[in-house]
Structure formats: structure tokens, C-alpha cells
Homo-oligomer: A and B are copies of this chain.
Amino acid sequence: MTEMELAAYRKKTRQSKVVDILTTKVACKECSLHQLCLPSSIDGTDLEKLDRIIERKRPLKRNEHLFQVGSKFSAIYVVRSGSLKTYSPTVDGQEQVTGFHLPGELLGLDAIGKGQHPCAAKALETTSICEVPFENLEHLTQELPTLQHQLLRLMSKEIYDDQELMLLLGKKTAEARLSAFLLSISLRFKQRGFSSTEFYLSMSRNDIANYLGLAVETVSRMFTRFQEDGIINAERKHILINDRKAMQQIAGMNNCCEEVASGDTQKSV
């Protein structure tokens, strides 16, 4: 890619739909709730019942909280558009980012057990949310076995995905972590019908570093290295993935993060 082409690309990504994809409403069929209600032949009436208990909240502005640490658990949330990060305070007064949540993904499943949120959720940009009051949901699952099954599946998926991430954090080098992170984001966009090669990272380098257990400087250097090697083009938060195969090699995962088996979407490297 020449400098001119690059400049043109940069200009394009600044304006194009790549950007406002994240501020666009997500249709229900691309949403996690789709997995939660539709797939196993749930019929119209049941879907309507589910729809009835869901509340649409006013959009959050950037840096607004959806919930705080320790706040009472009362609902599960689904991202309609925009994105959030979840984070916990650590002993030394720092915060530890525990996840990023893109359109169609759930938040709050980790709070059911204790009845209060173990982490806080903050919008990374203008973000709109569906709220699913948990008590109502629980009642409804009693009525609708399919819904219950879906809920269990989603929670299981979350456990599974967390374990995948543990593998990553436990073993890998800095470049493997970042590569796996980008592939994960890419896959999640793809699963929602967006481009998997060209997307916008709403979180800061700092958040990424924190999440991956690395220093900001290391993350920055890895971005630079990937760019130098021609594997990605990173114009600030706009990412273009040039060589997916190479990234899979680096991430040490030739098998996964490419095609995911079932109709599951969800969650968070």
C-alpha cells in the first residue's frame, strides 16, 4: 500500500459506515436475545412475552455508568448499539478491565450469584441498552422451557469464553495476546453482520493493555510492529486486518477465532 492509498483509506474510514455501524440500532435478529429466544423454534406468542418484559433505556453517553461496583443486581443488560467496558477495582486502587461488550452482547451474568454487581460497566461511546429484569426473566423461563435452555446455554458460553481468555492470559506472549484480542473483536463483529476486516476500536490503548495484562507501551509497540509487518493497518482506532492467517499464527490459534461452530454469539476475549 502506498502512502497515497493509505491516506485515502484513512480518509474513508473516518467517514464511512465503518464508523457509524456502532451507533446504528442493531436489529433483534443480530442480537444476543435472538439466541436467547428465537433459535429453538420459539413461536410468536412466546417471543412477544419476552419482548414485553424488556425495557429500553435512554442511551448512555460516553463515560456514563450502566451500573457501579456493588450496586444491586436486578437485571441483565443487552447492548443494542455502542459499546461498554466492565472493570473492577483492585487493592492498589487501580482498575482492572474485565471485558468489552459490543452490540448484541450481554452484561450482568456475573452478578446473579451474589445479588450485586462485582464490576462496574461504563459506556465507551454513546450506547443504548435493553434491560431485562431478572425476576421477570426467571418467571418467564418457568413458563418457557426453551427460554430457560437458551439462558443456560448463554451462561455456559460465557464460562467457556472466560476459560478461553484464561488460556490466553496465562500463557501467551504480548503479541499473541494482542493478536488474539483483535481476532476476537473481528469475529464478534462478523457474527453481527459487520465487517471482520475493518472496524473501529472504541476502547483506548490503555484499556486494551489493562485488559490483556500488559503495559500500555507494550501494546503500542505491538501495534507498531504489526503495522510494520503489514499484518494490519492501524490508523489510531480504525483497524484494517490485512493478513488474518498471520495473525492466527501469532495468536497461536490456527483452529479457533475463525469459524465458530453454532449459532452462538456472545462475549469477550
Contacts and interface: CB of A to CB of B under 8 A. Distances in A.
B167 A165 contact: no
Nearest to A171: B213
Interface string A146-169: 001101111111111011011101
B113 A170 contact: no
A246 to B, nearest CB: 15
A18 interface: no
Q: Describe A's contact surface by its main secondary structure.
A: helix
A211 interface: yes
Nearest to A165: B166
Contact of A169 (B145, B213, B255): B213
Contact of A142 (B111, B145, B151, B163): B145
A255 B91 CA distance: 8
A158 B152 CA distance: 13
Interface of A: 88, 90-92, 96, 98-99, 109-114, 118-119, 138, 141-142, 145, 148-149, 151-160, 162-163, 165-167, 169-171, 211-213, 252-255, 261-262, 264
A254 B91 contact: yes
A145 B156 contact: no
A43 to B, nearest CB: 18
7 contacts: A88-B163, A110-B156, A112-B155, A114-B264, A138-B145, A142-B142, A152-B155
A162 B157 CA distance: 12
Closest 10 CB pairs of A and B: A170-B213, A112-B156, A162-B162, A113-B156, A113-B157, A169-B169, A155-B155, A110-B160, A169-B170, A110-B159
Given A166-B165, A167-B96, A170-B213, A118 B151 contact: no
A206 B237 CA distance: 40
A90 B141 CA distance: 37
A26 to B, nearest CB: 21
A157 B149 CA distance: 18
A55 B12 CA distance: 61
Given A163-B98, A171-B213, A153 B91 contact: no
A159 B162 contact: yes
A167 B90 contact: yes
